[in-house]
Amino acid sequence: MLDTATKIVTIGGVNTLADRLEWIVANRDFVSLRRLSMAAGLSHSTLSNAVKREREGGEANLAMTSLAAVAKVARVPVDWLVNGGPPPDAPARVLVPYNVVRKLVEDGYADRAARRAVGDVAFQEGAEGISELDLYRAALRVLEAERGKAVGDTPVGDDEC
């Protein structure tokens, strides 16, 4: 049975373009800046050099077409990528019932994917307005849909969570 242990995940600052690109890699499952570059149809050096220049105190100097390509594959607004602000689909803090994540990991899902799915559902539904069992079921549907499986209405008993 899941208890009510809750972990607070604070999303760090995304003040610079380099921060926003790192946020995209971490939150949009691109794994690396190289993979993000490839998905956007850019050379790896385009994004890596921009991040390096900015980290060294210079300007990123990315063309608007490159920024638009990154924004499109990352499913973020171009305005956010260019100007910053709060992450596009996340509040500053998300309450994540950690035991729901742990149960999904025990069921064979990757920790990062489970945390993202639970966080997304908690954000959309309001963490206080949804039971842990319902949160588990909703996150499971998200993960199964991502795997391309149709999820039936197979009941999950209270003792399974």
Q: Of 48, 83, 118, which one is at a domain's C-terminal end?
A: 83
Provide block-wise average pLDDT over 10 residues at a time, the chain (161 residues): 36 70 85 91 92 87 90 89 75 61 84 76 62 82 72 44 46
Q: Which two tokens stand for residue 56?
A: 């060294």
Q: Please state the domain count of the chain.
A: 2
CB 69 within 8 A of CB 60: no
| This prediction's pTM | 0.49
Taking the C-alpha atoms of residue 21 and residue 34, their distance in angstroms, rounded to an integer, is: 11
| Rg (the chain; Cα; Å) | 18
Q: Which domain holds residue 142?
A: 91-160
User: Residue 7: beta bridge partners?
Assistant: 96
Give the model's pLDDT for residue 100.
Answer: 82
The DSSP annotation for 28-91 comes to TT--SHHHHHHHTT--HHHHHHHHHHHHTTS-----HHHHHHHHHHHT--HHHHHH--S-TT--
Looking at 83, 109, 132, which one is the last position of a domain? 83
Are 101 and 43 in a shared domain? no
Residues 65 and 105 reside in one and the same domain = no
CATH number of domain containing 26? 1.10.260.40
24 within a domain of the structure (yes/no): yes
Domain boundary among 83, 116, 132: 83
Q: What is the pLDDT of residue 150?
A: 42
Q: How far apart are CA 6 and CA 98, in angstroms?
A: 5
